[in-house]
Amino acid sequence: MPFRPDLRWSDVTPEALFLNRRQIIAGAAAAMVATPALARNKWSVDQTPNTFEEITSYNNFYEFGWGKEDPVTYAGALTTDPWSIEIGGMVDKPGRYDLADVTKGQTIEERIYRFRCVEAWSMVVPWHGFELAGLLNRVGVQPGAKFVAFETLLRPEEMPGQRDSSFPWPYVEGLRLDEAMHPLTILATGLYDQPMPNQNGAPIRLVVPWKYGFKSIKSIVKITLTDKMPPTTWNILQPQEYGFYANVNPEVDHPRWSQASERPIGGGLFGGRVDTLMFNGYGEHVAALYTGQDLAADY
Ligand code: MTE
């Protein structure tokens, strides 16, 4: 059973290490105020997370280059404060919301999620974030809305990859409304006890754990509710390889490689590949969203 309702990463991390991190980060005196206890939740998996180092030094963030180490090398230059998100389309309260306003009233939880890239590597990440549904309910989704479109910041001055004009910047992604409203779908604002590192999509990014990683769009500046399936970056670039849905599915191979197994990052010298799970192991929660759909056709 992958799910343990009562587990937090602090439960699976040696306590001394955990306390040590807390003290370093928050300072003993300020700890009570600076790091309020996170709400417990039933969505975390019973797996040891990857290290902070692994999660923050092996990344895909093409705005900073094509190499796995380009994001950690170049993303430090990104200005993430001030930050705002323009929320519009079929909503009752459209507008430009400051980051503080976006998170206002939302419960920030720790979510230890599996993360499976379409390239067949995987990690386990202790995100901090809140349910996207909380924000969507706050801005008021209008009855005709069927999809949610997301857009990443366009700032070539600070994002050297965006100077490559052969790529259709800005990076865009989308979800069906029922996927967006699912409690597993979060807007993440941090990982471990840190604000979101730039290379992981500061200051706020999407995380949809049952889909391939490319759906989890980083550094979001725009959210639009719409009645049409929105264009998505990888589908624009290679439609026969990357569909809109991108649900993790070991039975539907990428045209150029198998999706039946994956390589856990940090597995070490003897760490072999492991089987990929349907919906990345979240099937009991999300399979019902796709009843009657042909997942080979809707890849
Ligand atoms: N979002 C933006 N804006 N730009 C990107 O290049 N890469 C995607 C996704 N979100 C990407 C993005 C891909 S392919 C993956 S696997 C994940 O981010 C990687 O997230 P991580 O670097 O935090 O592991």
pLDDT tens-digit readout, 88-107: 999 999 999 999 999 999 99
Flag the least confident range among 25-29, 173-177, 240-244, 272-276: 25-29
Nearest ligand 1 atom to alpha carbon 117: 16
Question: Ligand 1 centre from 207 Cα, in Å?
Answer: 10
Closest ligand 1 atom, CA of 61?
Answer: 6
> For residue 210, how far is its CA from the centre of ligand 1 (angstroms)?
15
| 37 Cα: distance to centroid of ligand 1 (angstroms) | 29
Atom 11 (ligand 1) nearest CA: 61
Which atom in ligand 1 lies closest to the alpha carbon of residue 234? 14
Report the nearest-CA residue for atom 4 of ligand 1. 61
pLDDT band with cut points at 50, 70 and 90 for residue 187: very high
Considering the entire predicted model, what is its pTM? 0.89
User: 216 alpha carbon to ligand 1 midpoint, in Å?
Assistant: 6
Q: What pLDDT is recorded for position 25?
A: 45
The closest residue, in CA terms, to atom 19 on ligand 1 is 60
State residue 12's pLDDT score. Answer: 46
Ligand 1, residues at Cβ distance < 6 Å: 59-63, 117, 152, 171, 200, 213-214, 216-219
Q: Give the per-residue pLDDT at 139.
A: 98
Atom of ligand 1 nearest to the CA of 115: 24
Contact 230, 246 (CB under 8 A): no
pLDDT at position 22: 43
- pLDDT tens-digit readout, 148-166: 999 999 999 999 999 999 9
